[in-house]
Structures are given as structure tokens and as C-alpha cells.
């Protein structure tokens, strides 16, 4: 029998799950991952990082309590990371029911299973600064009120309070990371940041003519996903569970993100981007700012990459992965 600590990651096929699995493997963990159907999932991100064969993969449906109960009692992990659920703010307007069920019901099933089995599990839940809604110029902290402005943020807010309730009511080691936007080369193009990076690279080589975007005046805090995985891990190493805002502390507009991406390939974004009001969301956050001081104070965590560095790394990775386009 292995003496290594065991971690179980729900949502291991996504960007954050892959980077977290990579980190936990480096830390000597026995890593298990859960996916809705592990037999047909390609686990593209795990393959890109070269770690797919180092992880034990399981088929689990988070909306099914019995499925969750079976996997937790079979694996008996010391740490559980819940990164699963519909992860796109934009898509949540088109799929509000799926978004709420996959995030809120999934989180509740995990918490209830941990309570029911009484397994000594440390539980991490992925929350989002989208829950704060419009912050204006005042950065949100762990005590700022939630004012969600999308089905995604409503679902994440629900899951956050589920975690807080189970922690307070049943003395579980359960915490939430309230994460700002974070990106990497593992982001699919349905996320606007990767859409911008890929389009800028294609336009630079003549493969694509223009990029269509919605509201470019929105402001967000963009960080580097591998660094955010470090914060998740550190949260479960504390003596007592705490919730943390995880962010760079610096916000930029989407226009500035686009400007940086096109500049990285030698272009002026304003000559290649068309604004389409059909892409505007029914409701959106104009300005989102977050204060990560508590993470620095208690976790010793601080973002090293700001948005310009994130863009540079994403552009370089896209070019490396698509040499035929250069």
C-alpha cells in the first residue's frame, strides 16, 4: 500500500485541475481525478502536461449522490478539490439550469458525503470573484458582500455559502478560494482571453482577417493559472480552514488585454477588432477588483505574473503549439 497522501480532484480535465494535478504530483501525492466519463474523455490538458499516465482516473457524476459516495469511500483521499461544474460566465446565460445544478448540487453532494462518511477529508471549493459583482474602484475582500450578476456567479455564491454552512454546522475542514480570472495555454477558445490570443496570432500570419468582440471596456483581474493552483494547495495545508481571495491585485480592461496580445505579434489591435453588440451579455460587471492581502499574510502567496506577462506566455505557447501557422 502506498504511504503517500491521496488527493482527489473533481474537474481534473480542466485548466485548473491539470495544473493542480501537476503540482500535487511534484509534492509526492497519489493523485486521483474524477470526470463524468473517464472512458471517453481525452484528458487533453493532462496529456499536454505529460502527466495523464501518472494520475488514476475515475468516472463520477457529481449530481448523483450515490456516485459521489462510491468514489470517496473507494479512494479515501485526505484532500478533495472541487473544481468541477460549468465554468463559463458567458455560457451560463444560455445554460442557467445546467450551471446551477453542476456547481451548487455538485458541491452539496460532496459536502454531504464528507459529513455522512465522517472521513477526515480536507475540502477545497473553487469560488469566483464574479460573486462580488460590481466592485467599482474598491477592491473586494473576503468580507465584501456578494452581488452576483450572472447565473454562473449565482451558482458560485450558492456553493460558497454551502461550504460555509457545513464548516460551521458540522466542523468540516472546508474552505473556498475566491479566485479572480486566471488563464494559461490550457484555456479553450470559448474563453475570450484565449480567443483573443489565438486570433491575434492567426491574423498576424494572414490566416484570419478580423476578431469580433463584445464589450471591451469591462475591467478584470487576470492572473496566471499555475500560480493559482499553488494557492489552492496552500489553503488545505493550514491548521484551520479559511476562505481566501486569490488575485493579482491589479485590474485591466479587455481592451488592454487585446492591445497586449496584438502588440506581442507586432500589430495594433484597433485595426483588426470589430465590436459586435450582439456579444454583450444581458448583465455584466463593468469593473472587478480584488484584494489578495489575506492570502499573502496567511498563505505566503503572491501573484508573480500580471496581465502583460500572462499574455506574453499565452502568445508564446500558441506559437509553439502551431508552428505551421508561422
Q: What is the pLDDT of residues 152-184, one digit of tens each?
A: 999 999 999 999 999 999 999 999 999 999 999
Tell me how far apart the alpha carbons of residues 87 and 273 are, in angstroms, rounded to a whole number.
25
Residue of 130, 227, 256, 259 marked active site:
130
How distant, in Å, are the alpha carbons of 4, 64, 146, 226, 281 from that of 290?
36, 34, 13, 19, 22
Share of residues in the chain with pLDDT > 90 (%) = 89
Q: What is the pLDDT of residues 254-292, one digit of tens each?
A: 999 999 999 999 999 999 999 999 988 888 899 999 999
Q: Of 157, 142, 180, 149, which is closest to residue 104 (Cα–Cα)?
A: 157
For residue 13, the 8-state DSSP code is: T
Same domain, 277 and 260: yes
Task: State the CATH number of the domain containing residue 52.
Answer: 3.40.50.720
Question: Which stretches of the chain are DSSP H helices?
Answer: 15-26, 44-48, 65-75, 89-94, 96-100, 106-117, 151-170, 192-204, 225-235, 254-263, 293-299, 307-321
Identify whether 74 is part of a domain: yes
Tell me how far apart the alpha carbons of residues 204 and 208 are, in angstroms, rounded to a whole number.
8
Tell me how far apart the alpha carbons of residues 56 and 5 are, in angstroms, rounded to a whole number.
14
Same domain, 130 and 213: no
Q: DSSP letters of 156-178? A: HHHHHHHHHHHHHHH--EEEEEE
Tell me how far apart the alpha carbons of residues 219 and 6 are, in angstroms, rounded to a whole number.
38
Same domain, 113 and 259: no
Share of residues in the chain with pLDDT > 70 (%) = 98
166 is catalytic: no
Q: What is the pLDDT of residues 214-241, one digit of tens each?
A: 999 999 999 999 999 999 999 999 999 9
* Angle, in degrees to the nearest 10, between helices 192-204 and 254-263: 30
Residue of 128, 180, 219, 251 marked active site:
128
Range of the domain at 276: 188-220+251-287+306-325
152 is catalytic: yes
76 is catalytic: no
**Residue 1 pLDDT > 60, yes or no?**
no
- Residue where a domain stops, chosen among 246, 261, 296: 246
Predicted pLDDT of residue 325: 64
Averaged pLDDT score across all residues of the chain:
95
Task: State the CATH number of the domain containing residue 274.
Answer: 3.90.25.10
End-to-end CA distance of the chain: 50
Residue of 19, 81, 124, 152 marked active site:
152
Q: Of 171, 138, 20, 142, which is closest to residue 83 (Cα–Cα)?
A: 20
Same domain, 96 and 230: yes
Q: What are phi and psi of 259, to 5 degrees?
A: -60, -45
Amino acid at each position: 500500500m502506498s504511504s503517500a497522501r491521496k488527493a482527489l480532484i473533481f474537474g481534473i480535465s480542466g485548466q485548473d485541475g491539470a495544473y493542480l494535478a501537476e503540482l500535487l504530483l511534484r509534492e509526492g501525492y497519489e493523485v486521483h481525478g474524477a470526470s463524468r466519463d473517464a472512458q471517453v474523455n481525452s484528458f487533453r490538458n493532462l496529456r499536454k502536461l505529460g502527466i495523464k499516465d501518472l494520475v488514476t482516473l475515475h468516472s463520477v457524476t457529481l449530481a448523483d449522490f450515490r456516485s459521489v459516495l462510491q468514489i470517496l469511500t473507494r479512494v479515501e483521499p485526505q484532500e478533495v478539490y472541487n473544481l468541477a461544474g460549468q465554468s463559463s460566465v458567458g455560457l451560463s446565460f444560455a445554460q442557467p439550469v445546467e450551471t446551477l445544478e453542476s456547481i451548487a448540487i455538485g458541491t452539496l453532494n460532496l459536502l454531504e458525503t464528507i459529513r455522512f462518511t465522517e472521513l477526515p477529508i480536507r475540502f477545497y471549493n473553487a469560488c469566483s470573484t464574479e460573486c462580488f459583482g460590481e466592485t467599482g474602484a474598491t477592491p473586494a475582500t473576503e468580507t465584501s458582500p456578494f452581488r452576483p450578476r450572472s447565473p454562473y456567479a449565482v451558482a458560485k455564491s450558492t456553493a460558497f455559502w454551502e461550504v460555509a454552512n457545513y464548516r460551521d454546522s458540522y466542523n468540516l475542514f472546508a474552505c473556498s478560494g475566491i479566485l479572480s480570472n486566471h488563464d494559461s495555454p490550457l484555456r479553450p477558445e470559448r474563453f475570450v482571453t484565449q480567443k483573443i490570443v489565438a486570433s491575434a496570432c492567426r491574423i498576424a500570419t494572414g490566416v484570419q482577417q478580423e476578431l469580433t468582440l463584445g464589450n471591451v471596456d469591462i475591467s478584470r483581474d487576470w492572473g496566471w493559472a499555475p500560480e493559482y493552483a499553488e494557492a489552492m494547495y496552500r489553503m488545505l495545508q493550514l491548521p484551520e480552514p479559511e476562505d481566501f481571495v486569490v488575485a493579482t491585485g491589479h485590474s485591466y480592461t479587455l481592451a488592454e488585454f487585446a492591445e497586449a496580445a496584438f502588440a506581442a505579434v507586432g500589430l495594433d489591435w484597433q485595426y483588426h477588432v470589430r465590436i459586435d453588440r450582439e456579444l454583450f451579455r444581458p448583465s455584466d460587471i463593468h469593473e472587478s477588483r480584488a484584494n489578495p492581502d489575506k492570502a499573502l499574510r496567511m498563505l505566503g502567496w503572491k501573484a508573480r505574473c500580471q496581465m502583460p506577462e500572462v499574455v506574453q506566455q499565452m502568445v508564446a505557447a500558441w506559437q509553439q503549439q502551431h508552428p505551421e501557422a508561422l
